[in-house]
Amino acid sequence: MSLKSNVLDLRKRKKEVQKGGGDKAIEQQAKMGKLTARERILALLDKNTFHEYDLFVEHTAKDFGMESKVLHGDGVIIGTGTIHDKPVCIFAQDFTVAGGSLGLMHARKITKIMDHALKMCVPLIGINDSGGARIQEGVNSLAGYGEIFFRNTLASGVIPQISVILGPCAGGAVYSPALTDFVFVVEDISKMFITGPGVIKSVLGEEISMEELGGARVHAEITGNAHFYAKTEMECFEQIKKLISFIPRNNLRKAMHFPPKAPLKGKKIEDILPDDPRMPYDMRDIIKAIVDNSDFFEVMEYFASNIIIGFGRMDGETVGFVANQPMVLAGVLDTDSSDKSARFIRYCDAFNIPIVTIEDLPGYLPGVDQEHAGVIRHGAKILYAYSEATVPKVTVIIRKAYGGGYIAMNSRHLRADFVFAWPTAEIAVMGPDGAANIVFRKEIAEAENPEEMRQQKIQEYKEKFANPYIAAAQGYIDEVIEPKETRSRILHALKVSENKSIHLPKKKHGIPPF
Ligand code: HXC
């Protein structure tokens, strides 16, 4: 054959394989609002940058009638491309080919691109759309998952790992996304569960739909498995692109620098905090009044909303924010909010992203439910994460900083580099009401008018202890600042922390309270 006919033959072969599971299967997917695996990759990457590998890989299974089956690309597409002109490695499972199920060669393709990502130190994006371990391939499928999980763990903290759930992600398959840094889900499309509705019905006799069991909202709001929730696949891809713009390519680099921008002229920062210290307000307004262009990219927005985590830029550099949300449960720390923030702090620390903490909380959430849910164990995670983090760490206490909450939210004692407090800060062992009841119990009980005495003692306590000046006198906070100074003080603190260099004691690794 001539070169020309060889090339034509190659094109024909490629076209055939690129059809995946064929028109009928693709139509079925489209009816569910799903793009094909190839369309997804092309929609996510910069135009004309996708380079595919292993297109002609085929399965090698022989049992259960597999010998005669052709599975194009073995149900997964792998390759490289760019997002914002920065390289990424990517794989996308193709549900039209044997339900995107994972057999030996399918797994080999995924592990090949994972190895590539780790070797080249670039982000890995995995689009999951699969019925799980390919039943006909038995232990080879399980081995494939094991190889993937091992690589997810090895790559953790070295390169960003992003999972996108765009279809079912069933059985053990869920553990790869769970081991990655960020999980994206899409309404009506994402389904994640260990055991499906069928198994639940036969074992427990309970009827539940896939959506109720492990749909996008379930993971965004209830389980905390998902970090980003979108209404459509295209919205999800925009979110991924935005995330990529905030994070560095690997743990040795810094995130992309953008031209500095002032916050938008919205609500003035000094007008956000209500005069009544018992009144809630939206902490996001404070963050937006601080970050460049008021652009705050929230992570896990719908889960444990009593704490806010996310990325913003200050003078063009990425910063991770951790802030209590007084609008939800008064911003207390509990099991879920501790988990949520601790993991984010560790992410920022692993990827050289400075952390700004904004504090207003009455402490840890009291109650039997919390105690029995392990608030001691989970609550310890945030202490561990802050103590261990060596990136620049700045704290601003704007109102309440009581008890364990004061310590946990990146206090000086956990090695915050800079701690600022607004004059409205109340730094004390506990809130004035509780404190007065305990410390002045006798005087209150013996008073002619106990309630009047109680109010008097609460006031006395507030004046004496619930302010920033005692902590300032001890040097636990560095400066009491005016609200309008907040952005400039943080900016300066981050600037002088640019070359921060500290070393933790030498060890193989710590043992965090997982
Ligand atoms: C082989 C599979 C498959 C699988 C789906 N298919 N899952 N083939 N192994 N695990 C095939 C189907 O046979 C079908 O092939 C095609 O994919 C489409 O599947 P449908 O069932 O028709 O699609 P749908 O109705 O949309 O249902 C999707 C589904 C369902 C909910 C994912 O297929 C399902 O429940 N699959 C099994 C899920 C599961 O239990 N997986 C766990 C496996 S054990 P044809 O040829 O008819 O088109 C596991 C353990 C791993 O994962 C442990 C690692 C630690």
From CA 243, how far away is CA 238, in angstroms rounded? Answer: 9
Question: Cβ < 6 Å from ligand 1: which residues?
Answer: 98-99, 101, 131-135, 142, 145, 168, 170-173, 196
Residue nearest atom 33 in ligand 1 by C-alpha distance = 131
Can you read off the two tokens belonging to residue 95?
Answer: 């549900």
Cα atoms found within 13 Å of the Cα of residue 151, Cβ hemisphere only: 22
Q: How far is the CA of 174 from the centre of ligand 1 (A)?
A: 14
Q: How wide is the angle at C-alpha 386 spanned by C-alphas 383 and 387, nearest 5°?
A: 80
Q: How many angstroms is it from 74 CA to the middle of ligand 1?
A: 14
Residue tagged 């029995």 (tokens): 372
Among 174, 114, 186, which Cα is nearest to 148's? 114
CA distance 298 to 312: 9
- Tens of pLDDT, residue by residue over 61-94, are 888 888 888 889 999 999 999 999 999 999 999 9
Give me the phi and psi of 130, to 5 degrees please. Answer: -155, 150
- CA 257/CA 320 separation, integer angstroms: 14
d(Cα 111, Cα 90) in Å, to the nearest integer? 11
Single-letter amino acid, residue 76: V
CA distance 89 to 78: 8
- 16 burial level (CB within 10 Å; 0-12, 13-18, 19+): exposed
Contacts of 390 (CB under 8 A, 6+ apart): 349, 500, 502, 504
Low-confidence ranges of the chain (pLDDT < 50): none
Characterise 205 by phi-psi region: left (phi > 0), alpha (psi -120 to 50), beta (else): left
**Whole-number average pLDDT of the chain:** 95
Rounded CA-CA distance 480/493 in Å is 14
In the chain, what is the straight-line distance between the N-terminal and C-terminal CA atoms, in Å?
62
Domains of the chain are 3-246 (3.90.226.10), 269-431+467-497 (3.90.226.10), 432-465 (no CATH)
d(CA 289, CA 443): 45
Residue 82, classed as helix, strand or coil, is strand
In ligand 1, the atom with minimum distance to the C-alpha of 130 is 32
pLDDT at residue 28, rounded to an integer: 94
Give the nearest ligand 1 atom to 132 CA. 52
- Atom 47, ligand 1: residue with shortest CA distance: 98
Our mutation pick for probing the ligand 1 site, out of 27, 95, 101, counting the most ligand atoms within 8 A of Cβ, is: 101
* pLDDT the model gives residue 41: 98
Nearest CA to ligand 1 atom 50: 172
CA of 169 to the centre of ligand 1 (A): 10
Residue nearest atom 36 of ligand 1, based on CA coordinates: 131
Task: Return the ligand 1 atom nearest residue 100 CA.
Answer: 17
User: What does the pLDDT read at residue 203?
Assistant: 92
Other CB atoms within a 10 A radius of the CB of residue 444 amount to 20
Rounded to 5°, angle at Cα 251 from 49 and 292: 80
Instruction: Report the interhelical angle of 375-388 vs 335-350 (nearest 10°).
Output: 20
Select from 31, 135, 142 the residue to mutate for testing ligand 1; criterion: most ligand atoms less than 8 Å from CB.
135
21 Cα–ligand 1 center, Å:
14
* Ligand 1 atom with least separation from CA of 99: 17
pLDDT tens column, 328-361 = 999 999 999 999 999 999 999 999 999 999 999 9
CA–centroid distance, 283 to ligand 1, in Å, is 44
Q: How far does Cα 397 stand from its chain's mean position?
A: 24
